[in-house]
Structure 1
Amino acid sequence: MKTDFTFFCRTWIGIAYASGLVIGFSMTPPILDSSKDEIVIPVHETLTITCRGQRTLAWAWPDQTLVGQELTDRQAQLPTTRVPGQRVALVSECPGQPGRPYCKRLALTGAQANDTGYYRCYYKDVKAIIVGTTAVNVYVFIRDPKQPFFRRDAKNEDIRNGLETILIRHSTTHVIVPCLVTVPDLNVTLYAYPSSLDNSQMKWDNKRGWSIPRQLIDSAPMIIGVLCLATLEGEDFQSANYLIHTTGSQVYDVKLFPEDPVELIVGEAITLNCTAVVEFDTGVKIQWSYPGKLTNNWVDIKTQREALLHVTEAVSILTIHSVNVTDTGPYICNVTSIDTTLTQQTQVIVYEKPFISLSYRNGAVVEATAGQKSFKLQVNVSAFPTPETQWYKDGKLVKMKRMRTHHNHALEIKDVCQEDSGTYTVVLKNSAAALEKRLNITLVVNVPPQIHEKEIADLSSPYPSGSSQTLTCTTFGLPAPNVTWQWRAWGPCVLNSTQNRLVRRERKGRSDRISDCQDWQDISSENAANEIEPIETSAQVVDGRQKIVSQLKISNASVSVMYKCSAENKAWQR
């Protein structure tokens, strides 16, 4: 950053200006080349979808066994190689559009029935994936008349045999029968056995399956299972058989207390509580894993079970009466029911004795700039137990309202000023263990240059032609600023388009922005328009402060010219 001071050598000396620009940014969701909610392509054909957006893009697809391969521009033009039997989704770069410079194209050759589902394009570098904000979805049907029904997962034996189980929880209001289809307009009916269900209250969704109100199943005399039926091109098809089972086997939540890592000294006791919230009539097994499980005999494990209003709590309490350094490590609680396993873990750290370790974060000398809203003196601290923290400035305890100590032992200085320069000392104490560490940090506050002039020439009183004039530029800053002089011919200001817009925006309440002109030239003895003497710059005490005074002496003022002085230092540079 740089401070400018403009002189109008026709008759006047001008005034310096400062400006700032705030750039706003808004994010719009990516878009697809198809505006439809769903896409239908024949089986074995190639699926191609193009996505464009404002940031780096990525793709996700429904079949998790499908391998993704990113192609460079050159690779996209060459034949692809793949492992025999391996299916690959190819993702390549493509041309962007105004406002959406990023583009990713997904290509899937030989599409199969199992590729039916939601395809998602999202911003890769944004953690939150939200459809309509950072992502866009489209549902794709891979139309296969020979396989109108398909199953997403066929890993276990029951599914491969055409059987799946739908577990109904006590809180379930609607039961979803996931008869997934590849033909979007397929006429699907639901068959229940041995009792029938009232179809009028059920709803069909070709992307999810049948939705059955829970009360229909509860009111039926007996429902063992359901399946979906359809006829297509004169051929009958049926889905897998779905067995209906009401269960209390769900584990809703597992919490391990304390939740944060536990730190102790050798010989202290530790107690960990693992609490599982489960459905009624749910049997669970709670098991602990920890470093001293096979060797530490000073361990107690107690279990208890309590029925609450709507759920049951199963609790296991682990107590180690006297810890050792070898007990350091992860402590894991595993809660297992018939079909659910949830795990929580925490970290236990056992120290041999109290300690304090203190070191520099950013070195022994740090720099700030006057005018900063906030600046932190930070140090690296590793200690147990947490020590008392005190900060001193030049040997005196810090008590200023502008300064406060954070939990991480950092000292925050608000509204930084020149007077905050000095030597700061951080002292960490553990009085019970007679431990103390201290560290000195020197803070240097840099002050941006400011140009001060008490006398400004009257704008209506030109300098007489041929006269001798002295232009003075007085500036203060830390470190001492460097002063430079420039000139431009008298006439209209030349600005680039961006600065022109800024000048028009900021002229409200100002007479001009001459210092922003683009045709300023550096002054030299051969290039100054008027005859000048060598520029004299020196350090002088002005108004009780050490300042830099620079003088431009014009020995013969014969041409109307504007002169400008600029001051800069490490706190304010162009």
Structure 2
Amino acid sequence: MQRPTQEAQGIILLIAEFVFKIIIISIISLQRSHRMNFLIFLLCGLYTVFAKGGEKEEARGKYGVPVLEGAHGHLVLEANRTLQLNCRGRWELSWSFPTDVPLDQVHVQDSRCGKTQHLHCSRLTLGGAQAGHTGNFRCRYRRRVQRQASVYVYVADSRQPFVEHPEMSPYVLYMKEKQPLVVPCRVTHPNITSSLIKFPNHSLSPDHRNILWSSKQGFTIRSPTFFYIGLFFCQSVVDGVTHKSRIYFVHRPVSEIMDVYLNSTGPVQALKGERLVLNCTATGELNTRVNITWDYPGKSSARGSTSKRLLKHRTHMLFYSILTINKLQRSDRGLYTCRVSSGDKTKQQKVTVTVYDRPFIRLKPRLGPVMEAQAGQKSYRISPKLRAFPVPEVIWLKDGMVAAEQCSRYHRDGNSLVIRDVAEEDAGKYTILVRIQEHGLYQNLTLILVVNVSPQIGEKAVTLQDPGSVARGSRQSLHCTSHGVPPPHITWLWHPCPPKGLPAAPQA
């Protein structure tokens, strides 16, 4: 069934009220009549139903959000005039207005309204409006602020077409990557147009593609480039007079972190009581600004102190953050992280710090005291297990003499001794001497190297003449000279001459 309109509800309500009064007058002389009492009760109920229905209908529907009377998008008010806005709604109301509007010039009057006083009304009065008061005025529910009605009010002043006074200090605008740039030179009348000027005199006009103009926002550059970095202002002509806005400085913050590195590329080892210094360096593009922070085991107790430096090069920027812990403790060992952030970009480097109570040397064979190599090997590495701190001095001896001075095929690689093109004469005793002289620590280890040599027969290297025929029953002497490591075992084999036409079978 279709619900009656508000007008119909109002008419029904008036009729019910009129009938109710007539009946009340009529029943004064018939108070003892039970039927009349029942009729009075019935009509009172009908009146209540119609009245409440009217209230609910009045508060429902268009009052889901507040209603600003006489507001249709925007209002134009002459400067120094009084602005008055009326708002009504279902619940208690509040106002918001441009930040430049002084509170002592605004008067708000709240009241109950509607046919049954069920609605809330609020009137805002602003006396002596000025050009700088141009902006959005909003009426909203006090406890449901997302439900609101707004009107944009232009306070027109031909002497000041721009909302912000031109003598105000320059305003910084930040150009962000892949985001439009807005130059907010709003004006005080919807019909005023403007030009965007790049200092000193490069004029830009709206092209409805990349450069857009709005009296409520100013200029919007949809796809700003490096050209829009610098000083800008807006310019309008009103009644033949040229007016300029305040100056805007467009800055493009750069957040590109090119590299981050620490002064130590590997794990850091230190003694208890020593000083730890870690230098974190970040490289960024010109105009980059970064924030460098440290995470480390003693951060909560402020064990370390940091200092920062900035160097500008022709093509990039260098940012330094130096973390210093004066006297290391065992509790300072752990992971140290340098974290560099710029805008939404972050890079970091980490290093592990180990703290020892005292210096030490730990030296022992890797596979036992005796080693084996094969003559002819391209290289052989003698590498015992060595742990020491601080970094020790290492010297290798062969048979009691400095190995590197005996043969050019011997060279040190870290703590190991490498023998190139292994030969039989490389066999012998190799001794590693380890010392930390400043702490008076010394230790050595002797290893034996055995070089295996494949067995060889000396006579094979000499060309022998055919002995020819010998007399039967004569005595002959044959020689076999061999060499190898370990010494080879010699076995003789002989091959009797076969009868003519038959192959010979070897016999021992």
TM-score by length of structure 2 reads: 0.46
Say which structure is richer in helix: 2
Say which structure is richer in strand: 1
TM-score by length of structure 1 reads: 0.41
The structure with more radius of gyration: 2
* Greater relative contact order (CA < 8 Å, ≥ 6 in sequence): 1
